[in-house]
């Protein structure tokens, strides 16, 4: 039989465990899902980390000609975006890219990546964010590749 001190400690541990789960994922309220914007630039870095992958790109500045602004684009987790065709080598620093995204509500440069279009014609999509399901699915194989 537990005493009052043991019960209090047990309840406190349960509350702490629940708080950890609640803090493990953030809201997407910071993104404006009513807008889709597009920018083109050069990949600075692909951050392949949990809980979300980030794509950083340099975009020519509209306010300072000849200069660049750094944009940050959030995507799903490495595990989730791998399922729609991403790899940790999908983007390299220096790659040319066009990004469609839901912008940050506070006006900072970046947002939630919706689609990344690469110079070689590849298109990479998004997982998570404002949609309940992935916004991009791996294309079906060409008819000649399908098995009966």
d(CA 24, CA 31): 18
Looking at residue 71, its pLDDT comes to 98
Domain count, the chain: 1
- Using the predicted structure, report yes or no on whether residue 11 has a pLDDT greater than 50: no
CB 41 within 8 A of CB 58: yes
Residue ranges making up the domain that contains 95: 37-125
Provide the residue count of the chain.
Answer: 148
Report the chain's terminal Cα–Cα distance, integer Å. Answer: 64
Residue 148 lies in a domain: no
Residue 115 lies in a domain: yes
Residue 137 lies in a domain: no
Residue 24 lies in a domain: no
d(CA 111, CA 67): 21
d(CA 58, CA 71): 6
From 52, 47, 45, 56, select the one nearest 30 (Cα to Cα). Answer: 52
Instruction: Express each pLDDT in 12-64 by its tens digit.
Output: 334 334 433 333 455 678 888 899 999 999 999 999 999 999 999 999 999 99
Average pLDDT, the chain: 79
Residue 112 lies in a domain: yes
Residue 5 lies in a domain: no
- The CATH code of the domain that includes 41 is 2.40.50.140
Global model pTM greater than 0.85: no
């Amino acid at each position: 039989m537990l005493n009052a001190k043991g019960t209090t400690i047990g309840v406190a541990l349960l509350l702490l465990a629940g708080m950890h789960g609640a803090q493990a994922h953030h809201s997407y309220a910071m993104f404006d899902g009513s807008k889709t914007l597009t920018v083109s630039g050069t990949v600075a870095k692909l951050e392949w980390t949990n809980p979300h992958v980030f794509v950083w790109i340099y975009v020519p500045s509209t306010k300072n000609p000849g200069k660049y602004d750094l944009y940050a684009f959030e995507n799903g987790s490495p595990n989730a975006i791998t399922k729609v065709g991403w790899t940790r080598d999908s983007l390299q620093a220096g790659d040319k890219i066009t990004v469609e995204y839901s912008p940050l509500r506070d006006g900072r440069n970046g947002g939630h990546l919706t689609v990344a279009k690469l110079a070689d014609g590849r298109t990479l999509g998004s997982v998570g964010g404002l949609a309940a399901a992935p916004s991009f699915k791996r294309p079906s194989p060409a008819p000649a590749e399908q098995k009966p």
